[in-house]
Chains A and B, each alone.
Chain A
Amino acid sequence: MPDVSTQDKDIEHVIRVENLVTHFGDREILHNVNINVRKGEVMVIMGGSGSGKTTLLRHMLGLHQASSGSIYMLGQDITQLSKKQMYEMRRNMGVAFQGGALFSSMTVAENIQLPLYEHTSLDDMTIKIMTRMKLEVVNLAGFEDLMPSELSGGMIKRVALARSIIMDPRLLFFDEPSAGLDPVVSAELDELILRLRDAMGMTIVIVTHELDSAFRIADRITVLDQGQILITGSVEDVKNCDNERVQNLLNRKPKDEDIDPEAYLQRLTREG
């Protein structure tokens, strides 16, 4: 198992993925994936496109059924839970999807408050204050009554983030948080993620391909390539890893090809 971080038996693992194998049709997408996420850490799952990282995330969220293997969340194997039990489990999980996934027929405030209205019997005033507090945290104070169609890409992501933390969940999942954001906003988001970990003791799983962001905030990084885990370890461990595929990913090296001038010319000018 390519996990080079210290194996301390006393560390509490809030997420344990064991021997996960999954298929789309006949294609095997994840090959025997094993990951542990510790309580209160920021775990970044990194990989290129097609590495399977989004698929892995969706399995952790219980959105897909694996072909085999187990996924333990807070001690329970979610592959064995009934639908009702899974909904219970989901109260502990907050998710921010890549495109925000906001409900277009609801205002910003209504989007953020939805889990509160559905799952709690809190007073309207309390809910209103909580919503506004979360908007303040993501720097969107005053935007409650706007519709998602009136927001920029960065704002949509921040609203999605606010929605994911409205119930102060113990586990937080982000799918490509920095995608489409300018560096300043992206850095602010990273700051926020760290503050959430420190203040609320949240365990945060981030799927991304942005190296800078990952190195800045990760406690540990898991590198995924073509459905296999290449390494799980601290930022230093990953940077110093001598696995070629890992290094390629880190150095953003495209596949090396010697150009054959004749063949190249042919490719450019052939018929059809």
Chain B
Amino acid sequence: MLLATPIRLIEKIGFESIYITRLTGSMIIFLVHCLGNIFILPIRFTAVLRQIYFIGARSLLVIIVTGMFTGMVLALLAYYNLKQYGNMELIGAATALGLIQELGPVLAALMVIGRAGSAMTAELGIMRNSEQIDALECMGIDPYRFLITPKFIATIFSLPLLTCVFDVVGICGGYLVAVINNDVPSGAFIQGMITNVDWADLRLGLVKPLTFSVIIVWICSYKGFYVHQNRSGVFGAEGVSLVTTNAVVMSSVSVLALDYVVGLIML
């Protein structure tokens, strides 16, 4: 009896390890298959454009609104914290750097996860459940190439652009708060930005969205595509909602983790 619990524990550890290994392997094969297809011509431009519209264009409003408020908050915080030291000219720099290096990439990614990532998972899950993916296979059409590769291309293209929009709108928002609301000299704001933001920061601010886009599409489309193999063994609509929630959570956490890793490597 006393041996039962440790044995159970070891069993569980073994079980989980096998599961995680299998899952990792499966996900990597999935990723390679989808990304590999990017380089096989011809690319289906109509499909890619459609995805750019859904993932990129339709996220624009959300990005602008969130960007605006984030920039405003950043400037407000910077003002509040810096005014006691009198370093007003750093407010511009703080706002811009905060956005470009960190908040732009991460928040834009999170918005896209919420809007497009969840839609991706749900759409693929429903397609899987109604045998549409099987139908593609039986027509001799590679479902990875047909359904998922366009999403990768579209997101890799759109997310950096959305991030830039976020940054720019955020800086404008910060300008509004600092200069117009709080009497920070306009010249100081702008000059502070120009002096302190350099190419390395911009590079960081673009590499991040590139990596984030891969991880978002990877996780969200994998979960939807394989909804029929979900761990809880749930079917139908419940299965779809389960994997969608999982996908959003998992990709959000992964983005944050990746954010740290990329920062570590590049800073």
Residues of A within 8 A of B (CB): 58, 61-63, 87-88, 90-91, 93, 95, 97-99, 101-104, 114-115, 118-119
Contact = CB atoms under 8 A, between A and B. Distances in A.
Interface of B: 127, 130-132, 134-135, 137-142
Given A95-B135, A102-B132, A118-B141, 8 more contacts: A61-B138, A87-B142, A95-B138, A101-B135, A103-B132, A114-B139, A114-B141, A118-B139
Nearest to B133: A101
A114 B44 CA distance: 13
Nearest to A93: B138
A65 to B, nearest CB: 13
A97 to B, nearest CB: 5
Contact of B132 (A93, A98, A101): A101
A115 B135 contact: no
30 contacts: A61-B134, A61-B138, A63-B134, A63-B137, A63-B138, A87-B140, A87-B142, A90-B138, A90-B139, A91-B140, A93-B138, A95-B138, A95-B139, A97-B131, A97-B135, A98-B131, A101-B130, A101-B131, A101-B132, A101-B135, A103-B127, A103-B132, A103-B135, A104-B132, A114-B141, A115-B139, A115-B140, A115-B141, A118-B139, A119-B140
Contacts of B130: 99, 101
Contacts of A62: 137-138
B140 A90 contact: yes
A99 B138 contact: no
Nearest to B33: A83
Contacts of B140: 87-88, 90-91, 115, 118-119
Contacts of A97: 131, 134-135
Contact of B134 (A101, A102, A118): A101
Contacts of A104: 132
B223 to A, nearest CB: 20
A117 to B, nearest CB: 10
A158 to B, nearest CB: 15
A104 B123 CA distance: 10
Contacts of A103: 127, 132, 135
Contacts of B131: 97-99, 101
Contacts of A88: 140
Contacts of A118: 139-141
Contacts of B132: 101-104
A74 to B, nearest CB: 14
Nearest to A87: B140
A118 B140 CA distance: 9
Contacts of A93: 138
A73 B141 CA distance: 19
A132 to B, nearest CB: 20
A93 B135 CA distance: 11
A-B pairs, top 9 by smallest CB distance, nearest first, are A90-B140, A101-B135, A101-B131, A95-B138, A87-B140, A97-B131, A115-B139, A101-B132, A118-B141
Contacts of A91: 140
Contacts of B137: 61-63, 90
Nearest to B146: A118
Contacts of B139: 90, 95, 114-115, 118
A63 B135 CA distance: 10
Contacts of A61: 134, 137-138
Nearest to A119: B140
A189 B130 CA distance: 22
Nearest to A92: B140
A91 B127 CA distance: 22
